[in-house]
Amino acid sequence: MSDETDLANGTTESWKTGPDSASVGRNPEQTRRSILNAATTEFAARGLEGGRTDRIAANAGVAKRMIFHYFGSKEGLFQAVLETNYARIRSAEAKLELSSQVPMKAMAELIEFSFDWFLSHPEFIPLLNEGNLHEGRHVRNSSEVRSLNMPLVERINDILKSGVETGEMRPGVDPIELYISIAAISYFYFSNRHTLSGIFDRDLMSDDALANRRRHVVELVLGYLRPPMDECSKATTNAG
């Protein structure tokens, strides 16, 4: 029997457990946050189809009916989980002091941040995988997710413009294409770490391997951004 049917028929005891509506109503933000945290763990481990609202409610310490009160459905909860996790990474990115640094240093810090985020937030990868398994419909239905990414694109574009002006970076780089590449390089490493470790008989999650890979991805992207040698010579000549 599905979670939604259980709720409608009132036949599942699990959704009746937990605090009553009066108690959770006194702190709705805490209740919502507890549900989202539990749902993040559940969906990262079992996906949208395998995730159960019974377990989410139990782990959040709330009545199952409160999930549907706040999020409408399991699909709505999964969309909210995606929104929350995108908001977390974008909020952390916004705290980077990029504008006060020279362009190449600012870009290096952004690349390192992306790598470090995947490392320290392993739940993010299965959530992204699950969103893509469902063809991105939850993201398309969320104006919040789309709007969250635009400030990042603008910051990348500002860094690129400064880099071109100083002669450090090549012109004509699309900020969205660059962002996709930065995210993809780190994403692939962590999402495929088990198979790649097995194929190459190398522990990709050892401290040395992680340090080497982090350095490699920075050098790879910055190497692409540097202008061709003839452009560098022109910039040096003009600056002199």
Q: Measured between alpha carbons, how far is residue 164 from residues 11, 112, 204 in Å? A: 64, 21, 35
Is residue 33 included in any domain, yes or no?
Answer: yes
Strand, helix or coil at 126? helix
Q: Tell me which residue range forms the domain holding 61.
A: 3-72
Q: What is the CATH number of the domain that holds 53?
A: 1.10.10.60
Task: Domain count for the chain, please give it.
Answer: 2
From CA 123, how far away is CA 44, in angstroms rounded?
5
24 and 64 share a domain? yes
Is residue 240 included in any domain, yes or no?
Answer: no
162 and 204 share a domain? yes
pLDDT (tens digit, 0 to 9) for every residue of the chain, 240 residues total?
A: 444 433 333 333 333 334 444 444 568 899 999 999 999 999 999 999 999 999 999 999 999 999 999 999 999 999 999 999 999 999 999 999 998 899 999 999 999 999 999 999 999 999 999 998 889 889 888 888 888 888 899 999 999 999 999 999 999 999 999 999 999 999 999 999 999 999 999 999 999 999 999 999 999 999 999 998 755 555 555 555
Tokens for 198, please give them: 């097995």
Boundary of a domain, candidates 72, 96, 122: 72
91 and 67 share a domain? no
Is residue 161 included in any domain, yes or no?
Answer: yes
Q: Which of 11, 150, 125, 142 is nearest to 78 (CA)?
A: 142
199 and 103 share a domain? yes
| Prediction pTM value | 0.81
Tally of helices (H runs) and strands (E runs) in the chain: 14, 0
Tokens for 110, please give them: 């952004």
Is residue 239 included in any domain, yes or no?
Answer: no
Dihedrals phi, psi of 88, to nearest 5 degrees: -65, -45
11 and 100 share a domain? no
126 and 28 share a domain? no
